[in-house]
Amino acid sequence: MNRHYIFIVLIFHLSVGTAQEHHSQCSRINESAERLGCYDSVSNKLSSSNELQKTQVSPILARATEEHEHQLRWFSITPHKVNYLLPITNNESSDFSPYGDFGKLFSDTEIKFQLSLKTRVWSDLWKNSSLWIAYTQQSYWQLYSDDKASAPFRETNHEPELIWQFPLQFTAFGFNARVASLSFNHQSNGQPNPLSRSWNRITGEIAFDRNNYVLSAKTWTRIDGSKNDDNPAITDYAGRIEFGLAYKSGNHTLAIGLKNNLDNENRSGVEVNWLFPLASHLRGFVQIYSGYGESLINIEDYSNRIGVGVALTDWL
pLDDT per residue rounded down to tens, the chain (316 residues):
443 333 333 333 333 344 344 444 555 565 655 655 564 554 454 444 444 444 467 988 888 888 878 787 777 789 999 999 999 999 999 999 999 999 999 999 999 999 999 999 999 999 999 999 999 999 999 999 999 999 999 999 999 999 999 999 999 999 999 999 999 999 999 998 889 999 999 999 999 999 999 999 999 999 987 667 888 889 999 999 999 999 999 999 999 999 999 998 999 999 999 999 998 778 999 999 999 999 999 999 999 999 999 999 998 8
- For residue 284, give every residue at least 6 positions away whose Cβ sits within 8 Å of its Cβ, in sequence order, or none: 275, 276, 277, 278, 308, 309, 310, 311
- According to DSSP, the residues that pair with 218 across neighbouring strands are 205, 242
Sign of CA dihedral 12, 17, 20, 23: negative
Domain boundaries, the chain: 3-55, 59-311
Q: Determine whether 186 is an active site residue.
A: yes
DSSP alpha helix (H) spans, the chain: 3-27, 32-55, 59-71, 234-238
Given the residues 139, 188, 295, 303, select the one marked as catalytic: 188
Given the residues 186, 196, 268, 290, select the one marked as catalytic: 186
CA dist 151 and 106 (Å) reads: 9
Domain 59-311, CATH among 2.40.230.10, 3.40.30.10, 3.30.470.10, 3.40.50.720: 2.40.230.10
Beta carbons of 218 and 242 less than 8 angstroms apart: yes
The conformation of residue 71, written as its DSSP 8-state character, comes to H
3-state secondary structure of 237: helix
Beta carbons of 94 and 106 less than 8 angstroms apart: yes
CA dist 122 and 129 (Å) reads: 9
- According to DSSP, the residues that pair with 245 across neighbouring strands are 215, 256
CA dist 14 and 171 (Å) reads: 19
3-state secondary structure of 242: strand
CA dist 87 and 307 (Å) reads: 8
